[in-house]
Structure 1
Amino acid sequence: MNSNSKYLISIVGPTAIGKTALSIKLAQHYKTEIISADSRQFFSEMQIGTAAPTPEELSGAKHHFIHHKSIKDNYNVGAFEKDALQCLTNLFKTNNVVIMVGGSGLYVDAVTKGLDHFPEVDATIRETLNSQLKTEGLETLQKQLQTLDPVSYNTIAIDNPHRVIRALEICIGTEKPYSSFLNQGKEKRHFKTITIGLKADRALIYQRINQRVDIMMQDGLLEEVKNLLAYKDLNALNTVGYKELFNYLEDTWELDFSVSEIKKNTRRFAKRQLTWFKKKEDTLWFEYNTPIDKITSQLDSLLNHKHDN
């Protein structure tokens, strides 16, 4: 492989499908390091509920962006894009291949393609939309978005109020569709990306998710959440696996119900991840249990072929 060709191998797929294990095998195969693009695993206080790599897994290959921040830090996708690109610049000095792994589609895209830049809009628009959400509910906002920007309505995580409000405030504030600002004038990347996805039958993915939640509970998730109760209003903790157990700790829900809600919400999250990742045409999909040598031989021939062209 030509030393001028730098490749980022990005591993995507739904939660609980085995991306971490694959990333470590690939890092060992290419004698390289791993960048995590899982926005929940950035925070050092959130170990069990985010299924962060275990100490054994971390010792299998050098990882970046695992537990490098605190939940009290204000860390967002823009800051991650900058940090990850800087990290890649350093890693590519000594490696031709770097592995990136993560189920946060937006964070993956930020590194591989760059973020979209939006004009500033009047802050009162968001305030109005937030109070509309409280009084009329999410469905009204979804309908409003469907009218103003059908493209966004069909592509964003429509059951996420933050995303819906973000898209709407741009539509209203600029009088142009939110989608019209996407993919405009992004910075060119000095590396090539090969995206590989892990897939499985949906029933199997759901079974693996349910199993993983049970293991998290056995590993002490409740205790982890209990220690974070005082910080439950922080944005980082408004996430699956934590918010449901806060409801139990505050006597709103029974424990069994909280655990079944974690499973349900994680399954929903996996469904959204699949929708997001399936939109990318050039992803190489492998069954979750494909032998590693089959994956590496396909990657090797791709890497060599790309360089010969």
Structure 2
Amino acid sequence: MEHNTAINAVANYTMTKFLISIIGPTAIGKTALSIKLAQHFNTEIISADSRQFYKEMQIGTAAPSKEELAAAKHHFIHHKTIKDNYNVGAFEKDALHILETLFIAKNVVIMVGGSGLYVDAVTKGLDEFPEVDKNIREDLNKQLREHGISVLQAQLKQLDIQSFNAIAIDNPHRVIRALEICIGSGKPYSSFLNKGKEKRNFKTITVGLTADRKIIYNRINQRVDLMMEAGLLNEVKNLVSEQSLNALNTVGYKELFNYFNGEWTLDFAILEIKKNTRRFAKRQLTWFKKNKTTLWFDYTTDVNGIITSLEKEIA
């Protein structure tokens, strides 16, 4: 009921309300651009980065600094703990509620984040899936514990190659979710996507930042080095006792858990963080390029040029 109320409230707006959604691979400069746009349009920022929600994960998620948070008001940064059961459905409801409030006084709101599913939840709405036997998930979790994620990845590749290529394939929660739908319904998980969603009565303008792949990868490598210098190792050390939590099953944390568990050397763990972050960036671009209306800009583009393009769209 609350979810529908939020959607209906947003539906009361005219199409003069605009959500500017900033997307792109990790380490490309989305945060800096979002702040400049928020200052230009005198508005606020919604974060759609699913790991920046958690207050215990600051360095490894490249969350905005204190100075950046002070430069423009942000929502959904460090508002949860890693023990909270917070998912994309809850985020969609909460984000729509914030938009309902912000659009009363503002015609433009900024959203920024690299979590494609969370971005789409706000801009397009979530997909509806059939109910499936809960024993399927229990069996898949058992397979994960006994055989590891590679067995589940291979199964998903066989049942639904489209989902295999699109989702965060290293995230067991996402893989199991897709597999349980495939097995329980007898249809590919991807076949249920983009159907029968609630329409948004605000207009989304999507701005994408990009660069040559070599540049993206170099920026990622540099960011990981800066995170280590900023104290990522100590941040992860303080979370070792909680490493089984889903929120911590993410790049930058799981690799260092392997170091603290005595499985890897520190140098190897850092190399794996860089490699897995590069793979994540590749998946981000695959996801984001599905949106054919995105206004893509090279990451070096002057902000005034981006603002000019946005004002034309708004006009």
- TM-score with structure 1 setting the length: 0.92
- Cα gap change, 1:261 to 1:65, in 2 (>3 Å): same
- The residue aligned with 1:175 is 186
- The residue aligned with 1:197 is 208
Query: Conserved in 1, the CA contact under 8 Å of 2:95 and 2:122?
Result: yes
- The residue aligned with 1:129 is 140
Mapped to 1, the partners of 2:255 and 2:170 lie a distance apart of 17
Mapped to 2, the partners of 1:257 and 1:45 lie a distance apart of 24
Give the unaligned 5+ runs of structure 1: 305-309
Q: How far is the alpha carbon of 1:280 from its aligned partner?
A: 1.1
Query: Conserved in 1, the CA contact under 8 Å of 2:126 and 2:197?
Result: yes
Percentage identity across paired residues of the two chains: 73
- The one-letter amino acid of 1:65's match is F
SS of equivalent residue, structure 1 residue 8: strand
In structure 1, which of residues 61, 72, 77 is the aligned counterpart of residue 72 of structure 2? 61
Q: Identify which range, 134-143 or 50-59, moves more after superposition.
A: 134-143
- The residue aligned with 1:307 is none
Q: How far is the alpha carbon of 1:260 from its aligned partner?
A: 1.2
- The residue aligned with 1:104 is 115
- The residue aligned with 2:35 is 24
> 1:72-131 CA deviation, whole Å, 9 max, x = no partner?
111110000000000000000010000000000000000000111212211111222333
- The residue aligned with 2:312 is 301
Mapped to 2, the partners of 1:145 and 1:226 lie a distance apart of 33
- TM-score with structure 2 setting the length: 0.91
- Cα gap change, 1:116 to 1:30, in 2 (>3 Å): same
Mapped to 1, the partners of 2:272 and 2:235 lie a distance apart of 18
Give the unaligned 5+ runs of structure 2: 1-12
2:243 corresponds to 1:261: no
Give the aligned length: 303
> 1:145-172 CA deviation, whole Å, 9 max, x = no partner?
4454444344334454433332221122
Query: Conserved in 1, the CA contact under 8 Å of 2:21 and 2:206?
Result: yes
Q: How far is the alpha carbon of 1:39 from its aligned partner?
A: 0.5
In structure 1, which of residues 222, 244, 252 is the aligned counterpart of residue 233 of structure 2? 222
> 1:279-300 CA deviation, whole Å, 9 max, x = no partner?
1111110000100100000111
- The one-letter amino acid of 1:220's match is G
SS of equivalent residue, structure 1 residue 9: strand
Mapped to 1, the partners of 2:168 and 2:228 lie a distance apart of 28
Q: Identify which range, 175-184 or 105-114, moves more after superposition.
A: 175-184
> 1:173-205 CA deviation, whole Å, 9 max, x = no partner?
122332232222211212110001000111111
SS of equivalent residue, structure 1 residue 285: strand
- The one-letter amino acid of 2:129's match is F
- The residue aligned with 2:19 is 8
Q: How far is the alpha carbon of 1:140 from its aligned partner?
A: 5.0
SS of equivalent residue, structure 2 residue 102: helix
Mapped to 2, the partners of 1:145 and 1:208 lie a distance apart of 31
Mapped to 1, the partners of 2:156 and 2:224 lie a distance apart of 34
Mapped to 2, the partners of 1:135 and 1:230 lie a distance apart of 21
- The one-letter amino acid of 1:42's match is F
Query: Conserved in 2, the CA contact under 8 Å of 1:3 and 1:96?
Result: no
CA RMSD in angstroms comes to 1.9
